[in-house]
């Protein structure tokens, strides 16, 4: 199966998904939680926690991205 990706490594996939989640409107705290980051930067983040249901928003955004990607091929 031909692909337009030159080099796909976990770091590239991780950055791409974080970027796509952010552009889909998923909150930064939720993205950080999904990526496994425990410490958050910024004064607001001291008080704000990511929602326990963050995974549902992130999964919907990833599914939409992958569906769009498949449709464009």
**Lookup: tokens for 28:** 């930064």
Would you list the domain boundaries of the chain?
10-71
pLDDT score of 48: 46
CA 63 → CA 14, 37, 46, 60, distances in Å? Answer: 15, 22, 30, 5
Reported as a single tens digit per residue, the pLDDT across 51-73 is 566 678 788 888 998 899 889 87
pLDDT score of 53: 66
Reported as a single tens digit per residue, the pLDDT across 16-50 is 888 888 888 888 878 887 777 766 554 334 444 55
The continuous run of DSSP H or E covering 18 comes out as helix 10-23
pLDDT score of 46: 41
pLDDT score of 39: 63
Helix axes 54-71, 10-23, angle to 10 degrees: 100
pLDDT score of 59: 84
């Amino acid at each position: 199966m031909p692909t337009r990706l030159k080099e796909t490594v976990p770091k590239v996939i991780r950055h791409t998904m974080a970027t796509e989640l952010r552009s889909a409107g998923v909150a930064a705290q939720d993205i950080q939680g999904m990526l496994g980051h425990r410490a958050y930067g910024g004064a607001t983040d001291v008080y704000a926690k990511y929602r326990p249901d963050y995974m549902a928003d992130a999964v919907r955004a990833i599914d939409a991205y992958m569906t769009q990607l498949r449709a464009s091929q």
